[in-house]
Chain A
Amino acid sequence: MENLYKVFGRRATEAVRRLESGTDRAELELPGVTAAVVDASFTVERGEIFVVMGLSGSGKSTLLRTLNGLLPVTSGRVLVDDTDLTGMTPAQVRELRQQRMSMVFQHFALFPHRTVEENVAYGLSVQGTARERQRTRTAEALELVGLTGWEDRLPGELSGGMRQRVGLARALAADTEILLMDEAFSALDPLIRKEMQDQLLNLQRQLGKTIVFITHDLNEAMRLGDRIAMMRDGRIVQVATATEMLTAPADEYVARFVRDVDRTRVLTASAVMEPAGISFTPATTLAEAQETMRRHELTGVLVADGGTFAGAVTRGAVSAADGAGSVADVLDRSAARVTADTPVADLFGVSAAAPAPLAVVDGAGALLGMVTQQSLLRSLSITEDAEEEVDAHA
């Protein structure tokens, strides 16, 4: 998507010209003209969940609808695998929607006069898929969202969460690689919403779709998004991962926005870990270990054997052995270890119980770094200058 503009109203082209020359959306004083999306450019990678985040009126839903041509763009291009959607005939756009993209709606948009099964099969029936194949695809999609056995019910008989799972199944059954989700979980209760988010992440792990997800809920954005585009007044302010947005917000607006996020749920061990500067090998002599720990006032040290995490030693155990032998003799092989993608929130308990720093390891057990109690505390503090300024104003 390149330099995309969407302006509603007459004299739209004039509005685009003025916006291009740097006029702000609010200053655009053309009667009856609303610039919903201004100069938006981004690329969504195959297989990622790309979240567009913004408050109501920021243009995020409009942006989504330009992606499948439900709203024509005023200026700019929408490229799907190098094919420009803006130059397509209506028939080509329909073909694209049938084969490449499906959509999940905020208020579900299920057809009340059709059963769950007929709703889910809708995309397939539009594609002209054979009846038999429709049935199997529908059954598969319903199984994915956990609604097997509800085929003959009507949408009106289901709860909100179940209705949206039907909406999701309808999009999945169409078997398109791109999924557009317009505030798909915003109308649900917080608990159900969280459940749906988990389900979506699970499905994504199995299916690897390319998902563009719209939301106004930052916590949702950070939970789901591989990358997040923050929108404000029709412009995209920052495109970044959740961690980048927390640690390096592009401007004061983003900084203020992310301030209330529970950062311990967003940041992972990899964001707070530090290199394991001082570590022993099993062959390190206890005398040497004792001396090092005393000098650096360390209570525990990680032990690595040729790059692989072996365990940890505590100052108490080293002192008790009284200088004879090597680290291997007093090594605690069951010392706490975590993976790089563990949320910081889950580290506190483990860290409090461990005398030594937490070892951060990869899937093969190699030592990547360590998390100390100090670094955990530091992750909670807000260190960005921009935010301190905001605090000072407040």
Chain B
Amino acid sequence: MRELFLADGWHVPRIPVGDWFAAIVDWLQNNIGPFFDFVDMVVNGAVTGLASALSWLPSLVLILVFAALGWWVRGWRFGLVSLIGFAVVDGLSELPSAMETLAQVLVAGVVAVLIAVPVGIAAARNAAVSRVVKPVLDFMQTLPSFVYLIPVVVFFSIGPVPGVVATVVFALPPGVRLTELGIRQVDPEMVEAGEAFGSPPGRILTEIQIPLAMPSIMAGINQIIMLSLSMVVISGMVGAPGLGSEVYAAVTSLKIGQGFEAGLGVVVLAIYLDRLTSTLGARSAVGRARRRTAAA
């Protein structure tokens, strides 16, 4: 008996985490199915609505709208680059797919921001929340996305919704972290000044902490958008239409050229959204104040 024990080596008894996880997924599906149906309806409606609105416009108008937005936010040079970029995408006949992808990225981004910013604020104000949130974020960021992609498909079936949900899970953490960091980095003397004049905590948050943390919060939003874009191919695998599914289809059937064309579309979208959102951070009140002060 003793020899056997040694020969085989000693192990921690098997922990059936996998079974538990599967059981939890089953339980969720059986018990809060209506909730998932509701999420499915809302997200699906938002994505398809936005996508069809975008593809309803003639491509020329669409390209001009993007160029004008770029020009307005960053100046004529960026406007011109946007014009060329989206014209190239249209030239590759990828514009409709790009709009499907854009719709998914925007919806996922908005949902992620709506969750990330309040959670980040709560974590900044409450050490206990921060202690709980941190490991959860680590978990979300490092758990391979395929692992939760499958249960998400179980909940929402194939289509754009599981892609959006998986994207939210993956893109959320930097938004929370940068919001928390931004609020925590606000000069304590500023907060003290608010308190000394008898300002209630809510007003200190909205009038002092959030405006002063805005550059950091905007950096978080920028990161959310960029991470959302990096998930498009994985979304494509679970049936979300757009550039991602084209890349996936091209890769699985070894159509190298078609894959490259779709990939190029992703790059154009990424650069465009990155420059656009990073500029918005500099446009916040604090950003404006910094520039005026530097000029003085």
The interface of chain A, by Cβ under 8 A from chain B, is: 68, 70, 93-99, 101-103, 105, 107, 109-114, 122-123, 126-127, 154, 156-157, 170, 174, 180
A126 touching B189 in the complex, CB below 8 Å, given contacts A113-B285, A157-B293: no
Q: Is the interface of B mostly helix, strand, loop or mixed?
A: helix
B275 at the interface (CB under 8 A from A): no
Cα A91 to Cα B197 with chains together (Å): 12
A174 touching B190 in the complex, CB below 8 Å, given contacts A112-B286, A112-B289, A157-B292: no
B290 at the interface (CB under 8 A from A): yes
The residues in B between 174 and 232 inclusive whose CB is less than 8 angstroms from any CB of A are: 187, 189-190, 192-200, 203, 208, 211-212
**Of listed B197, B203, B292, residue having the most chain A CB within 10 A:** B197
Contact across chains for A156 and B292 when beta carbons are under 8 A apart: yes
**Of listed B192, B198, B208, B288, residue having the most chain A CB within 10 A:** B198
CB distance from A210 to the nearest CB of B (A): 16
Cα A223 to Cα B125 with chains together (Å): 42
* Beyond A109-B193, A174-B197, 9 additional pairs, beta carbon < 8 A: A68-B196, A94-B198, A94-B199, A97-B197, A111-B208, A112-B293, A113-B288, A122-B197, A126-B203
B296 at the interface (CB under 8 A from A): yes
B197 proximity list for chain A (CB < 8 A): 97-98, 102-103, 122-123, 126, 170, 174
CB distance from A119 to the nearest CB of B (A): 9
A-B contact pairs, 13 of them (CB 8 A): A94-B198, A97-B195, A97-B196, A103-B196, A105-B189, A111-B190, A111-B193, A113-B284, A113-B286, A122-B193, A126-B197, A154-B292, A157-B296
The interface of chain B, by Cβ under 8 A from chain A, is: 187, 189-190, 192-200, 203, 208, 211-212, 284-286, 288-290, 292-293, 296
Contact across chains for B292 and A105 when beta carbons are under 8 A apart: no
Contact across chains for B293 and A154 when beta carbons are under 8 A apart: yes
Please give me the residue from chain A that is nearest to B284 by CB atom.
Answer: A113
A102 proximity list for chain B (CB < 8 A): 196-197
CB distance from B201 to the nearest CB of A (A): 9
Please give me the residue from chain A that is nearest to B295 by CB atom.
Answer: A157
Please give me the residue from chain B that is nearest to A106 by CB atom.
Answer: B189
A174 proximity list for chain B (CB < 8 A): 197
A112 proximity list for chain B (CB < 8 A): 212, 286, 289-290, 293
Closest 10 CB pairs between A and B?
Answer: A156-B293, A98-B198, A97-B198, A109-B193, A113-B285, A103-B196, A94-B198, A157-B296, A109-B189, A123-B197
CB distance from B21 to the nearest CB of A (A): 41
Q: Which of B190, B200, B203 contacts A109 (CB 8 A)?
A: B190
Q: Which of B190, B195, B286 contacts A70 (CB 8 A)?
A: B195
Please give me the residue from chain B that is nearest to A98 by CB atom.
Answer: B198
A109 proximity list for chain B (CB < 8 A): 187, 189-190, 192-193
B187 proximity list for chain A (CB < 8 A): 109
Please give me the residue from chain A that is nearest to B287 by CB atom.
Answer: A113
Contact across chains for B198 and A105 when beta carbons are under 8 A apart: no
CB distance from B62 to the nearest CB of A (A): 36
Cα A113 to Cα B292 with chains together (Å): 11
Cα A317 to Cα B189 with chains together (Å): 68
A103 touching B193 in the complex, CB below 8 Å, given contacts A94-B200, A113-B211: yes
